[in-house]
Structure formats: structure tokens, C-alpha cells
Chain A
């Protein structure tokens, strides 16, 4: 951990500073890793979001477009814009890409039907013909409520009902949902091995800190160039790299629910600029007064938010952990 003495630090400016040299460093990292693994290029799952757009652009700049292959991996509940924007970013970089829908894999495992059964027993009024669905957590900063997941039914763009999930249903639902990211991982490796490429991940530092990725799903990759860049830094890099403005403006989402559910609604429970400032301040041990000034939050709210973040960090340790090995000769 680094300790910063300055009391006048502007956290957002500090985060966005020096983006050019960070981009260069990431490019060097990509080359070193691909060369080190003796691979010929990289596969990237392109989701239409900012992280994959930035990772793809950096890979193309460093390795050349002919050594990068994009995969669009939509499923039944993906937003149509994910595919459109993913294709646009590949085309703008002149990268070869292919669409491989993962819905057949999910259907073969009965994922959609099982998910629907959980939603039906949680929300008696659920009608798949009229409702879209979403998994949400209560807002943290304004309400200070616990991390309790709710299924939200949406009709004509408005919330029609919210029901708390029972623990068993929540666990089952997460297991079903995570098959989506894990199916994408399988497809990416199928292509990577065919082409003798490495799989490039797109997880950023905010997601890594909060365990906001699926173990052996989107976390199942060969290199993670963005994993030491907070989300705010990824956005700054997106601007530097001239990523499509529509992608930059699009609210981030895992895009696994029929109603487009943002990461703010399910993971961060606060705006990303606040979350990243809190994480950065924690990492650099900034004085409370500096954090109050930067975030506009009271000392009490900051303390509560840190406890909340620390709980998430602790409870997701398992997600970040590699399988422990028992070394018999040590």
C-alpha cells in the first residue's frame, strides 16, 4: 500500500492522469505475455462494453489486427446493442470477428427454464410474456441497506414488483447465471487453441477488488491487461483510444438479465466515480478529510462504505483465489 501525505489531492484527476504512459505500459505487457506464452495472437470476447473495447484496441495497436480475433458471444437475454456495438468496434479496428451465440449451450443445460422457475416461485405475479426481469440490490449510499438481492419485474420500462430472494434460490440463480460467462470461456478457448492464441481478459481493478467477475468464467483467461486499472481509468483510456462514444456512454452491465441491469444496480450500489475514489483512497490511505472533500460524502458514510467494501472484499476472496496447492516437499 502507498501512503499519500497530500491533503489537496484530486482523486479523479489522479486516476485519470498519465493515461498515455499507462496505455503504453499495458501494450508492452500484452506483447510480453503473448510472447512469453509462445502464442501467435489473442482472442477477445467483445461485449459492446468499454472494457473489451479498450482491451481490443490495445491488443490491435500492439500485436497488429491480423493477430487479434474478436468473438461476439450473445445469448437470448443479451441486449441487442451488445452485439451491434461489439461488431462496430471490431469493424472500426478492421479486426476479424465471429458471432457464436451461446444460447444453445444454455438451453442444453436447461438454464433458462430453471431460472424461470426460480423467478416464478419468488414473484407470483411473474408473466414472461409481459415482464422483463432483473436482479438488483438496494442503493447503498442513500439508504444504507444490507446486501439483500431482489428480483425486479419490469413492465413497459417501469418496476412492476420487487421480491426478496430466498438464500437457496439466490445461490441456485447465481450458479445458473454464471454458466453464461463460463460458456463464453469455453468458446473462447476452443478458438484460442485452434489458432494457437492466448485468451485476453477484460477485468478491471474495480471488478477485481470487488470480486465482480465469474471464477473460470470471464475470470478464466490467460492475461488480464486491465486488472490494475480502475474503471474510471479504463474510461479515460477509452477516450484516449477514441473508442466509440456510444460505448463510453453506455452504462456498464454484465448483461445477463432480460432487463438491462447496470453494474451500479447490482454490484457497486453507488456511482462508479464514488466507488473508484473510495477504493483509490483506501489503497493510498488518504486522510478522511481529503476523501470527504473529493466525494462530498460525510465521514460517517465513508466509514460505512468502507465497511461495506471490506465485507465484499472478504466474501469474494474465494473468487480471486487460485486453487491452493499442498506442496509436499516444503
Chain B
């Protein structure tokens, strides 16, 4: 779980969504904190699908699954099983 969270934070920093000095708690909102917008969300989805070799079904494209590190991690864990 921690590895997934680190991967996501590294991706967000490497792609200029976050400053290198910033940090995120597990439940911080990525949209309400202005970290990702609608295009950033699509890019993050592409990254997740490629990195973890998963397809995200349409009914899992909910704000709960994508708006926080914890939500994203839970979703990847469920789909990667």
C-alpha cells in the first residue's frame, strides 16, 4: 500500500502537479487542493493503468476512488488482485 502511495506522489511531483517540497496526507483532496484538474485526472488514470497493468471499469470512475491517495491506493489494490 505504501509503495503505491509513494509511486503516486512521485508521479505527481515528477509531472509538476506538486512541488517537490509539498506533501500530501492520505485523505487530502487532489481536486480541492488544486493538485489535479480534469486533464490531470485523465493523465493520472493513464499512468495508473500503465504502471499497474490494470483497466479501470467505468463504474469505478468515482470521485471517491480518485480524489485522495487513500482512494486511489484502495482502488488499485482491488483491481490489481
The total of interchain contacts (Cβ-Cβ below 8 angstroms) comes to 48
Of the residues B39, B43, B46, B63, contact of A146 by C-beta under 8 Å: B63
CB-based nearest B residue for A316: B38
Q: How large is the interface on B (under 10, 10 to 19, 20 to 34, 35 or more residues)?
A: 10 to 19
Whether a CB of chain B sits under 8 angstroms from the CB of A171 is yes
CB <8 Å contact, A146 and B62: yes
Contacts of A167 in B (CB 8 A): 39, 42-43, 45-46
Contacts of A148 in B (CB 8 A): 41-42, 45, 58, 61
CA distance A149 to B42 in the complex (A): 9
CB distance from B33 to the nearest CB of A (A): 13
Contacts of B38 in A (CB 8 A): 147, 311-312, 315
Whether a CB of chain A sits under 8 angstroms from the CB of B59 is yes
Whether a CB of chain A sits under 8 angstroms from the CB of B74 is no
CB <8 Å contact, A166 and B63: no
CA distance A282 to B80 in the complex (A): 41
Contacts of A149 in B (CB 8 A): 42
CB distance from B36 to the nearest CB of A (A): 10
Contacts A146-B66, A171-B39 given: A138-B61 contact, CB under 8 Å?
yes
Write the B45-81 contact mask toward A (1 if CB under 8 angstroms, else 0). 1100000000010110111001000000000000000
Whether a CB of chain B sits under 8 angstroms from the CB of A326 is no
CB distance from A294 to the nearest CB of B (A): 25
Contacts A164-B58, A314-B37, A315-B37 given: A144-B42 contact, CB under 8 Å?
no
Within 8 A of B (CB), among A135-169: 138, 143-150, 162, 164-168
Q: Which of B37, B42, B43 has the most CB of A within 10 A?
A: B42
Whether a CB of chain B sits under 8 angstroms from the CB of A170 is yes
CB <8 Å contact, A145 and B42: no
CB-based nearest B residue for A165: B42
CB <8 Å contact, B62 and A144: yes
Of the residues A145, A162, A311, A315, contact of B59 by C-beta under 8 Å: A145
Write the A303-318 contact mask toward B (1 if CB under 8 angstroms, else 0). 0100000011011000
Q: Which of B39, B61, B62, B66 has the most CB of A within 10 A?
A: B61
CA distance A162 to B61 in the complex (A): 14
Contacts of B56 in A (CB 8 A): 164
Contacts A166-B46, A167-B46, A311-B31 given: A145-B41 contact, CB under 8 Å?
no
Contacts A146-B63, A146-B66 given: A138-B58 contact, CB under 8 Å?
yes
CB <8 Å contact, B63 and A144: yes
CB <8 Å contact, B31 and A145: no
CB-based nearest B residue for A314: B37
Contacts of B63 in A (CB 8 A): 144, 146, 304
CB distance from B8 to the nearest CB of A (A): 16
CB distance from A311 to the nearest CB of B (A): 6
Contacts of A312 in B (CB 8 A): 38
CB <8 Å contact, B59 and A147: no
CB distance from A44 to the nearest CB of B (A): 31
Contacts of B62 in A (CB 8 A): 144-146
- 4 additional A-B residue pairs with CB within 8 Å, beyond A145-B61, A162-B58, A311-B37: A146-B62, A167-B39, A167-B42, A167-B43
What are 24 A-B contacts defined by CB distance under 8 Å? Answer: A143-B59, A145-B58, A145-B59, A145-B61, A145-B62, A146-B61, A146-B62, A146-B63, A146-B66, A147-B41, A148-B61, A149-B42, A164-B45, A165-B42, A167-B42, A167-B45, A170-B39, A170-B42, A171-B39, A311-B31, A312-B38, A314-B37, A315-B37, A315-B38
Which residue numbers of B lie inside 8 Å of A, CB to CB?
31, 37-39, 41-43, 45-46, 56, 58-59, 61-63, 66
Which residue numbers of A lie inside 8 Å of B, CB to CB?
138, 143-150, 162, 164-168, 170-171, 304, 311-312, 314-315
